[in-house]
């Protein structure tokens, strides 16, 4: 399956043949990475396949990859298990996030948050079930760091680190991997001031409640709080989508509306 920002028709014109400059392709790949459509550690498709997706010559695709290597976004490894791998996720600009949010239907957003609620809720539940009595975790520390983080990229990373630690405490590698992927897609939208009015204090209060439920070994409560936290984030992002104005709802299903 092609990643949404990587697939589609090539831009008008071509490189030598299609008018798309290598820099433009590099930006599109970087955008896909920054929005979580390509994850850190993931190997890009073979050059011939990737060039075909863009409708450009392999030589032009290689120039784009060279640009990304210079920026430290990807690296190319040789050998039997070699290839080009994502090593760093650039943070998307507000314009990039707003454009991406306009393209996503409310139905697709809700489907994303259904998955996120399932993953985060179970991670919190297992963390509570598997907590060692009398042993405090680093969860509160990460919650405080998220509250004090500056706006933008730093706040997004700090908020994600809290949720990663909850998944770490679940002792499930699969849940941790899923949480990392979901946070990379969610957090930039949530902490973009041009889109959302997310409150660091409210998030902090919700985080601390999750911490208490986990450390007090209350799995039902931990799961309930984690799911409620995800649903609040969904409400904020969907409200932000509607606030973008006309064109912000490209394929809304009949009968659907903003989250309560």
Averaged pLDDT in 10-residue chunks for the chain of 260 residues? 37 40 77 74 90 86 92 87 86 86 91 96 98 91 95 87 95 91 86 93 97 97 98 96 71 38
pLDDT given for residue 139 in this prediction: 97
pLDDT given for residue 33 in this prediction: 78
pLDDT given for residue 35 in this prediction: 66
Give φ, ψ of 13 to 5 degrees: 100, -115
Burial of 140 (0-12, 13-18, 19+ CB in 10 A): middle
Whole-angstrom distance, CA of residue 87 vs CA of residue 112: 24
- DSSP labels, the chain: ---TTT-SPPPSSBSSSSB--HHHHHHHHHHHHHTTSS-TTPBPPPHHHHHHHHTS-HHHHHHHHHHHHHTTSEEEE-STT-EEEE---PPPPHHHHHHHHHHS-HHHHHHHHHHHHHHHHHHHHHHHHTPPTT---SHHHHHHHHHHSPTTHHHHHHHHHHHHHHHHHTT-HHHHHHHHHHHHHHHHHHT-TTT----HHHHHHHHHHHHHHHHTT-HHHHHHHHHHHHHHHHHHHHHHHHHT-TTS-TTPPTT-----
Percent with pLDDT over 70 in the chain: 85
pLDDT given for residue 223 in this prediction: 98
Give φ, ψ of 67 to 5 degrees: -60, -45
pLDDT given for residue 21 in this prediction: 53
Give φ, ψ of 85 to 5 degrees: -120, 145
| Residues 179, 167 contacting (CB under 8 angstroms) | yes
pLDDT given for residue 4 in this prediction: 39
pLDDT given for residue 236 in this prediction: 96
Largest CA distance in the chain: 66
| Paired strand residues for 14 | 19
């Amino acid at each position: 399956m092609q990643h949404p920002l990587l697939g589609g028709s090539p831009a008008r014109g071509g490189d030598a043949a299609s008018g798309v400059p290598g820099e433009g392709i590099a930006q599109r790949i970087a955008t896909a990475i920054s929005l979580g459509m390509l994850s850190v550690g993931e190997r890009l498709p073979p050059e011939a396949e990737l060039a075909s997706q863009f409708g450009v010559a392999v030589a032009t695709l290689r120039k784009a990859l060279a640009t990304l290597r210079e920026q430290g976004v990807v690296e190319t490894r040789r050998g039997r298990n070699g290839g080009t791998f994502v090593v760093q996720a650039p943070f998307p600009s507000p314009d990039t996030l707003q454009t991406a949010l306009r393209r996503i239907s409310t139905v697709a957003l809700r489907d994303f948050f259904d998955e996120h609620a399932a993953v985060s809720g179970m991670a919190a539940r297992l963390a509570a079930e598997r907590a060692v009595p009398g042993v405090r975790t680093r969860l509160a520390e990460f919650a405080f760091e998220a509250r004090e983080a500056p706006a933008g990229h730093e706040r997004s990373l700090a908020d994600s680190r809290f949720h990663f630690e909850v998944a770490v405490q679940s002792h499930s590698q699969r849940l941790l991997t899923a949480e990392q992927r979901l946070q990379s897609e969610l957090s930039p939208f949530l902490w973009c001031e041009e889109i959302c009015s997310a409150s660091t204090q409210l998030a902090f209060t919700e985080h601390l409640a999750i911490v208490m439920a986990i450390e007090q070994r209350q799995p039902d409560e931990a799961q309930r709080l984690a799911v409620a936290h995800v649903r609040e984030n969904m409400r904020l992002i969907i409200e932000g989508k509607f606030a973008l104005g006309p064109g912000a709802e490209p394929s809304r299903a009949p009968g659907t509306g903003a989250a309560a």
